[in-house]
């Protein structure tokens, strides 16, 4: 089967054009394709499929082979893939597991509209919200040397979250309009170079604290930007912006 490999700020995905519905949605096959030693290697696998009401449909799987919730960087990469396939010109609307998303592409930079966030809850000094996937946000110091794996594993497998899991983001303020974010992702069960829904969640906590409408976000894999409009304790018109790029393409045996 032909596949494409895309990355968005270091978050990498196997992309498959599944408009003919020929891909076997088998957990073991997907996990093998995402394996970095025995397969192609990726943080997740994304199928692009047809939908009668939208330009295309996004079906996302974590690297463990399980179908998962929304992936922001994966969504941006899928928009770049759909653009490569000539499905749209510069603007599109697609459907994902968390609902519909608008997107734009200009010179390799993709702006993806995220779902509205209607509730943000506090857990001590930390924050929990759903930006298409569930996220826990914790502010720390000296993030570059922080043990994200150990701390992320602890929170993800804590009593409140061990059953369904949660993505854990660690945030450090850089300037008045820029933050640094590192994320431990459930399903991958490790730190990734970037996480779009996690960057969004982290950015919203910063926008809420500082009454801003946009913030720049540094990740291990590159730079992103988040825009949002605040309404009390909720946010709408949320956009995630950043690069997404095709890395390579090839053919792979599924057996």
Catalytic annotation present for 195: yes
Per-residue confidence band for 205, with pLDDT thresholds at 50, 70 and 90: very high
Q: Does 73 score more than 80 pLDDT?
A: yes
Per-residue confidence band for 185, with pLDDT thresholds at 50, 70 and 90: very high
Compute φ and ψ for 201, nearest 5 degrees: -60, -45
Tokens, residue 87: 């499905």
**Whole-number pLDDT of residue 111:** 98
In the set 34, 77, 92, 195, the catalytic residue is: 195
Per-residue confidence band for 20, with pLDDT thresholds at 50, 70 and 90: very high
Look at the domain 120-241 and name its fold: Diaminopimelate Epimerase; Chain A, domain 1 (3.10.310)
**Cα separation of 65 and 72, whole Å?**
18
**Residue 196 known to bind ligand:** yes
Catalytic annotation present for 34: no
Which of the residue ranges 33-37, 127-131, 163-167, 251-255 would you say has the lowest mean pLDDT?
251-255
Whole-number percent of the chain with pLDDT over 70: 100
Average pLDDT, the chain: 96
**Residue 167 known to bind ligand:** yes
| Nearest one of 44, 48, 59 to 12, comparing CA atoms | 44
**Cα separation of 103 and 123, whole Å?**
32
Q: Does 15 score more than 90 pLDDT?
A: yes
**Whole-number pLDDT of residue 255:** 72
Count Cα atoms within 13 angstroms, Cβ side, for 119: 3
**Cα separation of 122 and 233, whole Å?**
11
Architecture of domain 2-113: Roll (3.10)
Q: What is the pLDDT of residues 77-116, one digit of tens each?
A: 999 999 999 999 999 999 999 999 999 999 999 999 999 9
Q: Which ranges in 114-235 belong to alpha helices (H)? A: 148-156, 196-210
In the set 34, 71, 77, 92, the catalytic residue is: 71
**Whole-number pLDDT of residue 204:** 97
Q: Where in the chain is the domain with CATH 3.10.310.10?
A: 2-113, 120-241
**Cα separation of 79 and 240, whole Å?**
12
**Residue 197 known to bind ligand:** yes
Per-residue confidence band for 213, with pLDDT thresholds at 50, 70 and 90: very high
Q: Does 254 score more than 90 pLDDT?
A: no
**Residue 62 known to bind ligand:** yes
**Residue 131 known to bind ligand:** no
| Nearest one of 182, 180, 228, 179 to 208, comparing CA atoms | 228
For 92, 121, 151, 192, the CA distances from 147, given in Å and listed in that order, are 39, 25, 6, 13
């Amino acid at each position: 089967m032909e596949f494409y490999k895309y990355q968005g700020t270091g978050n990498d995905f196997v992309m498959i054009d599944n408009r003919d519905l020929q891909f076997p949605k088998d957990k073991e096959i997907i996990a093998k394709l995402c394996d970095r030693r025995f397969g192609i290697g990726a943080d997740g696998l994304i199928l692009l499929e047809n939908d009668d009401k939208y330009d295309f449909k996004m079906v996302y799987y974590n690297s463990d082979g399980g179908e998962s919730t929304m992936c922001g960087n994966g969504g941006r990469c899928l928009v770049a893939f759909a653009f490569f396939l000539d499905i749209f010109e510069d603007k599109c609307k697609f459907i994902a597991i968390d609902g519909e998303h608008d997107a734009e592409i200009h010179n390799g930079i993709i702006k993806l509209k995220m779902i509205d966030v209607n509730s943000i809850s506090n857990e001590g000094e930390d924050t929990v919200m759903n930006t298409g996937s569930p996220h826990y946000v914790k502010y720390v110091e000296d993030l570059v040397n922080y043990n994200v794996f150990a701390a992320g594993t602890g929170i993800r497998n804590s009593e409140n979250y061990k059953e369904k899991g949660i993505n854990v983001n660690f945030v450090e303020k850089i300037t008045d309009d820029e933050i640094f974010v590192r994320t431990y992702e459930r399903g991958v069960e490790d730190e990734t170079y970037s996480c779009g829904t996690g960057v969004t969640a982290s950015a919203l906590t910063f926008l809420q604290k500082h009454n801003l409408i946009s913030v720049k976000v540094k990740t291990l894999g590159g730079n992103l930007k988040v825009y949002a409009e605040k309404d009390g304790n909720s946010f709408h018109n949320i956009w995630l912006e950043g690069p997404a790029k095709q890395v390579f393409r090839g053919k792979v045996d599924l057996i």
